[in-house]
Amino acid sequence: MHIKIIKNFIYIFLLLALTYCETIDKKVTEKTDKENQLLSQYLGVKSDIIKQDFGEPDKINLESPYKVYLYNKKNLLITCTREFFINPKSDTVEKFKSQNCIK
């Protein structure tokens, strides 16, 4: 009798854990999509607009063939990193990368 109760408890616990993980995954996906939508507005835009909206970059890397503006923002224990890859010839954003930028 006790073993059956323990098994049922374990099954319920596993079901709840899986549901919770799916919920977290869905939220992270939604936030990531929103971040990508925000940053995609800067594709083809001059680098001055990036500086105007995000401030001076924390670091500028020269990765051939790009100039990369790197922005770091710490939220509690997680550091949000945004990188904008700028074509030095046209001074426009050609691509971006974002990591851990969910609010």
Domains annotated on the chain, with CATH? 2-99 (3.30.1450)
Q: Nearest Cα to 31, choosing from 95, 69, 75, 70?
A: 75
The C-alpha R_g of the chain, in whole angstroms, comes to: 21
Instruction: State the Cα–Cα distance between residues 71 and 83, nearest whole angstrom.
Output: 6
Give the phi and the psi of residue 70 in degrees, each rounded to 5: -115, 125
The pLDDT tens digits along the chain (103 residues) read: 677 777 777 777 777 666 666 666 677 678 778 888 889 999 999 999 999 999 999 999 987 789 999 999 887 788 889 999 999 999 999 999 998 887 6
pTM for this structure?
0.73
